[in-house]
Structure 1
């Protein structure tokens, strides 16, 4: 599964249109319909749905999604949350198709009117801002996102939740907090980052017909279980624990034995043959009951590390604490 930056996604769209000859309106139709049928897994026939439509590609997708849902017989209110002047290009073309299909939409003049609809809705679909968002949201998006996040509705996002940065390195933002996101063509970096991942909720990727063979290979993709299994070495049937490496874990203390215990267990599960633990003597009984396979080496809390020359790998620091050693001097091994 490829992982892209915002710029790489823009480049894929450009290649699709210029090199492969795919029209932007067609790609937008493909995207909107693919997302709709993906989102239908979370929508019931009796649900009342609010679709929030912004500018740009996300807004155009929003008009396609609203039209498709209405054509399927769902109860949908389409809300355009930006001025008419902001709707242009392919998005404007799909707005015209939406209107020509006989479907009404509402313009947001007051946030109170939208909030009334949200309170009556079961589902809110976010098609406001796409991968170009950076920093904190401006109005009216800041207010709209706040209203959506406060309501007890099922929140679904198109490609990327409004306000979430597509790329890494952005910590100051506010965003639509989706329960589920239908990602178009390829996940963006922020899907996998600690500060942004929760805003996506659960997610999946839909394919919209881009010419993948025309794209540059950025060598960035999700490392999956199958990749791990493929790279794990096979063990000889006659090998023993001494054949698979010897490791030392130095850490833990009388009052913090847990982290060094979990580290030792993780090392053994990952394939290490012999694991020794250097820790405070008073912590050994609690650690030994948790991880029976490990051995122990002598190490006084606050003292010097044992001889490391016989080990293939060493992990140092977990649970060792920050207090000074007896006598006031700093510890030889830090946290």
Structure 2
């Protein structure tokens, strides 16, 4: 294995505050609602890719559950639902309880979803949870809450998250799994456990730290055709083996354990022997004498 096997660029990670600034800059130069429409189209494409990757090739009879929250994350989900319904899939939209006021972009997305072939089910409907739990879903799209969530999941949204976590089908989270903090990866109470996350504009540290790796699943970034000039230099990056490529130089065959240096590890207070043992094993497998 050579350093070229790990050739790659570090992936930038952006905080919630940085992403908000990027969004505001992008929306100043775009028609109203276009960024949400791009997110919805990207989400629909990712959903179709997941559906086509399963064994059953008859995608026309697949059933997709879309969870749409009261904010712009819900708007992204509504846009995706309209696209998927237009593709001939059976789509059910579970509408979370409405916020006192929603953005004009989300209202437009809701109107498009209502005018599509998708079926809408209000959270307040007493039969909503029973209908969701009883159906055999091929995919769930989580668009309840994104990076703007300011409190733990509660009420109907908490109940729905728990119900979805008991389903056997793939779950595609939009931007971040609902209930997971985009900056820290922390969960306060309940979060949706996704198998895949399509995150928008840029990657988030919370998808790769703390609970993030267990709840986000496979992470893909949809840049939404944002002007690269709007992206600031990242204060954090997602690490990988490529960062250590210069240490992985090809070795000569005529060498021995002393040719590449030795490592001495000192530690192991009573009950604390695990750390030096792990360090010693790492040094051994890295090739030190």
Q: Which residue of 2 aligns with 1:3?
A: 13
1:1-335 map, 5 Å: 1-18=11-28, 21-43=29-51, 45=59, 46-83=61-98, 85-101=100-116, 103-110=118-125, 112-122=127-137, 123-168=139-184, 170=186, 172-229=188-245, 231-232=246-247, 234=249, 244-250=260-266, 260-272=276-288, 274=289
Q: CA deviation at 1:260?
A: 4.8
Normalising by structure 1, we get a TM-score of 0.71
Q: Determine if contact 1:38/1:206 at 8 Å carries over to the other structure.
A: no
Q: CA deviation at 1:107?
A: 1.6
- Residues 233 and 68 of structure 1, relative CA distance in 2, 3 Å threshold: closer
**In structure 1, distance between residues paired with 2:96 and 2:275:** 50
Q: Which residue of 2 aligns with 1:292?
A: none
**In structure 2, distance between residues paired with 1:82 and 1:258:** 49
**In structure 2, distance between residues paired with 1:169 and 1:113:** 30
**In structure 2, distance between residues paired with 1:107 and 1:10:** 29
**In structure 2, distance between residues paired with 1:102 and 1:171:** 35
Which of 1 and 2 has higher RCO (CA within 8 Å, sep 6+)? 2
Q: Give 5+ residue unaligned stretches, structure 2.
A: 1-10, 53-58
Q: Determine if contact 1:58/1:158 at 8 Å carries over to the other structure.
A: yes
**In structure 1, distance between residues paired with 2:108 and 2:283:** 58
- Residues 269 and 120 of structure 1, relative CA distance in 2, 3 Å threshold: same
The DSSP-based 3-state class of the residue aligned with 1:140 is: helix
If you compute each CA radius of gyration, which structure gives the higher value, 1 or 2? Answer: 1
Q: Determine if contact 1:34/1:207 at 8 Å carries over to the other structure.
A: no
Aligned length: 270
Q: Determine if contact 1:67/1:98 at 8 Å carries over to the other structure.
A: yes
**In structure 2, distance between residues paired with 1:154 and 1:108:** 22
Q: CA deviation at 1:83?
A: 2.4
**In structure 1, distance between residues paired with 2:68 and 2:265:** 55
Divergent runs of 4+, >4 A: 101-104, 233-244, 255-262
**In structure 2, distance between residues paired with 1:152 and 1:138:** 23
**In structure 2, distance between residues paired with 1:103 and 1:112:** 18
Q: Determine if contact 1:119/1:151 at 8 Å carries over to the other structure.
A: no
Q: CA deviation at 1:178?
A: 1.1
Q: CA deviation at 1:173?
A: 3.4
**In structure 2, distance between residues paired with 1:228 and 1:153:** 37
Normalising by structure 2, we get a TM-score of 0.81
